[in-house]
Amino acid sequence: MTARSLESGAPARERAVSPSLWSRIWQNDAPGYLFLLPWLIGFFGLTIGPIVTSFYLSFTDFDLLTSPDWVGANNYVRMFTADPKFWASMRVTVMFVIFSVPLKLAFALAVAMLLNRGMRGLPLYRALFYLPSLLGASVAIAILWRQIFARDGLVNDFLSIFGIAGPSWISNPQTSLWTIIVLAVWQFGSPMIIFLAGLRQIPQDMYEAASLDGAGKWRQFIKITLPLLTPVVFFNGIIQTIEAFKSFTPAFIISGGTGNPINSTLFYTLYLYQEAFGFFRMGYASALAWVLLALVGIFTAFSFLTSKYWVHYDE
Amino acid sequence: MSDVSNRLTVVGERQRTPLQRKLVSVLTHAGLLAVSVLMLYPLLWLLAASFRPENEIFTSASIWPSSWSIDSYIRGWNGLRTSFGTFYINSFIISGLSVLGNVMACSMAAYAFARLDFKFKNFWFAMMLMTLMLPYQVTLIPQYVLFRQLGWVNTFLPLVVPKFLAADGFFIFLMVQFFRGLPKELDEAAQMDGCSPWRIYWKIIIPLSMPVLATAAIFTFIWTWDDFFGPLIYLSEMKTYTVMLGLRTFTDSTGESDYGGLFAMSVLSIVPIFLFFLFFQRLLIEGIATTGMKR
């Protein structure tokens, strides 16, 4: 097409080029953009637009009813210097991430390795272990959890067999967060399935060679399994960490929306929800959201930057 | 099966006697069974508690009620001003429309990314991947303001319309991976015959992609059914509540006195998810294994 329009000579060029350009665009690019249209509308209307607006709102006081008041960096200054609840929620969330993610992944990997030994009944076990991951996010399970760890709940029933009178795990600030961590670890099924898929990729002759050389099981795990599995560990780690930062429902249901006792289950997302939809401090809540984004962004960037030192890819 | 028995002989087990091998296998099964029981016990206890007579709920840790009764279900169903029947209908409408929206919009976007050429395609694809990492809190408040101005609060629209705009990039990614695996010759042959991209999408790609579309549909249904945050902020009139919101209201009001009803409704709320698990677990597990899904 280009060749023909060049041949058609100088005088006609001005007229000839533009229709052929348009028809070329129509032929080549339009179908793609038409198929992409719903996504593009959503991308600008529900993602980019709101991101820009949210950034603006984070520098304002905004209560939904009157128009936003510009307050400069006040929200951020108050957050870091004069808001103990912000620090409490930050502490709770970081604790939750630090403990729940590694525990969940360790458990997932351990069970995946047990299952990968050519067990009979693998599909059944895999399905049973996966079930909690599928159900765990629902309100019903959070309600169940509140009951299990109550003073007269299931856990204390078991402890009483051994003559131990357990506390109310939910209303004790020392243990309340741990009940939610246990709930997260309980849902180890989906990273386990991904680990299983990864373990399948490891060639069995590597183990054979290693065991002929006299390497024990533990050495095989450290020298073969773990290095070859690092891409999967990396993937699971990122996904689970981002999920953990965003976790909301369990803390909301278990604490009845308060984040108590003594803010010990005040997840960051829960605090943000209270500020936005409890007190209608939309500007401050937007600032909280941007700090969360920065946190998740820093974590992700850090993971990707350090990954070349510990994640082994084939090539 | 053959690859399983191969592995048994290969994995350094050959120095062991048959008896030792048997012992290891028995121990592994015992360990796995113990973990299974520990994990499933709470669920079974919940099921049992929902069928127990009210006075027995907290006196027994067993998973077998001494007598069965469905009183809790009857009480719970009508435990709030609006019956759970309404909540179920609402949840089914929202989840059903979400499935429709996600499958249509995401498959269209995925087709564009996987099969069509257009300017800035890689840029848009990178943007789509970026949205996967974005915590929803960042867009939450402006979206709420927008939907409120449109008068959509207390309707299902804020929960459903984003699905028709392919807002969940995760499913686009899932489908792109699948579409790329389909032989490109099909498109080329169809194009030779003068098929438009729309016909190729509708007559070739979609019929060949039923597995991935089904996976996306099932996960959309489950995640929408489970969703608590969206309904919590957008639905405040009880007649618009979803099952999850109904449950939460139950815990606030009558829940403290009527545990039986609360447990019965909790069980009912996860029945649809459980049914999907029962009938489609293969599809779900393969979906996770190949793409690394979040939950």
**Using one digit for the tens of pLDDT, what is the confidence trace for A266-303?**
899 999 999 999 899 999 999 999 999 999 889 888 88
Average model confidence (pLDDT) across chain A: 83
B93 and B57 part of one domain: no
Task: Tell me the shortest Cα–Cα distance from B138 to chain A, in angstroms.
Answer: 5
A40 and A84 part of one domain: no
Contact B32 A125 (CB under 8 A): yes
Angle at B215 between CA B209 and CA B219, to 5 degrees: 150
Question: How many domains does one find in chain B?
Answer: 2
The beta-carbon neighbor of B270 closest among A138, A242, A273 is A138
B83 and B63 part of one domain: no
CATH classification of the domain holding A232: 1.10.3720.10
Integer Cα distance of B172 and B101 in angstroms: 12
B188 and B59 part of one domain: no
The pLDDT-based confidence of A19 (bands split at 50, 70, 90) is low
pTM of the model: 0.85
pLDDT of residue A285: 93
Question: How many domains does one find in chain A?
Answer: 2
Domain assignment of residue A73, yes or no: no
Angle at B289 between CA B109 and CA A269, to 5 degrees: 70
A40 and A88 part of one domain: no
First vs last Cα of chain B: how many Å apart?
28
Domain span at residue B262 reads: 76-291
Output helix, strand, coil percentages for chain B, rounded to the nearest 5. 75, 0, 25
Contact A119 B5 (CB under 8 A): no
Cross-strand pairs, A228:
none
Domain assignment of residue A61, yes or no: no
Integer Cα distance of A201 and A116 in angstroms: 11
A84 and A37 part of one domain: no
The beta-carbon neighbor of A245 closest among B119, B135, B293 is B135
Residues in A closer than 8 angstroms to B285, CB to CB, are 126-127, 130, 193
Domain edge (last residue) among B22, B44, B69: B69
Chain centroid to CA B14: how far?
43
pLDDT at A17 over 70: no
B181's CB contacts (< 8 A; 6+ apart) are none
Integer Cα distance of A17 and A14 in angstroms: 6
DSSP-assigned letter for residue A67: P
Chain centroid to CA A83: how far?
26
pLDDT at A96 over 60: yes
> Could you tell me how many CB contacts below 8 A there are between chain A and chain B?
279
Cross-strand pairs, A69:
A61
Domain span at residue A234 reads: 78-310
Interface test with A, best of B140, B200, B241 (most A CBs within 10 A): B140
B50 and B113 part of one domain: no
ipTM of the complex: 0.82
Residues in A closer than 8 angstroms to B246, CB to CB, are none
B84 and B214 part of one domain: yes
Task: Tell me the shortest Cα–Cα distance from A138 to chain B, in angstroms.
Answer: 5
pLDDT at A3 over 60: no
Closest residue in B to A154 (Cα) is B61
A288 and A195 part of one domain: yes
Closest residue in B to A198 (Cα) is B289
Share of chain A above pLDDT 90, in %: 26
B102 and B139 part of one domain: yes
pLDDT means per 10 residues, chain B with 295 residues, are 44 63 84 86 85 71 72 80 88 95 94 89 90 88 92 93 90 87 86 86 90 90 92 91 90 70 88 88 78 50
B99 and B230 part of one domain: yes
Interface test with A, best of B138, B148, B220, B276 (most A CBs within 10 A): B138
A154's CB contacts (< 8 A; 6+ apart) are A147, A148, B41, B42, B45, B61
Integer Cα distance of B169 and B217 in angstroms: 14
Residues in B closer than 8 angstroms to A57, CB to CB, are 141-142
Q: Give the tens place of pLDDT for each residue, B193-211.
A: 888 888 889 988 999 988 8
Residues in B closer than 8 angstroms to A290, CB to CB, are 138
Residues in B closer than 8 angstroms to A275, CB to CB, are none
Tokens of B44: 């079974």
The pairs formed by A298-303 with CB atoms below 8 angstroms and a separation of 24 or more are A299/A241, A299/A245, A300/A238, A300/A242, A300/B133, A303/A234, A303/A237, A303/A238
Domain assignment of residue A52, yes or no: no
B110 and B248 part of one domain: yes
CATH classification of the domain holding B268: 1.10.3720.10
Closest residue in A to B218 (Cα) is A134
Domain edge (last residue) among B30, B54, B69: B69
A141 and A290 part of one domain: yes
Average pLDDT on A150-176 reads 77
A119 and A216 part of one domain: yes
The beta-carbon neighbor of A47 closest among B11, B124, B139 is B139
A36 and A82 part of one domain: no
The pLDDT-based confidence of A89 (bands split at 50, 70, 90) is very high
Q: Are A69 and A61 in contact (CB under 8 A)?
A: yes
pLDDT of residue B50: 83
Residues in A closer than 8 angstroms to B8, CB to CB, are 117-118
Closest residue in A to B167 (Cα) is A42
Residue A310: count of CB within 10 angstroms of its CB? 10
Average pLDDT on A123-152 reads 85
A276 and A160 part of one domain: yes
Closest alpha carbon to A80 in A277, A299, A300, A295: A295
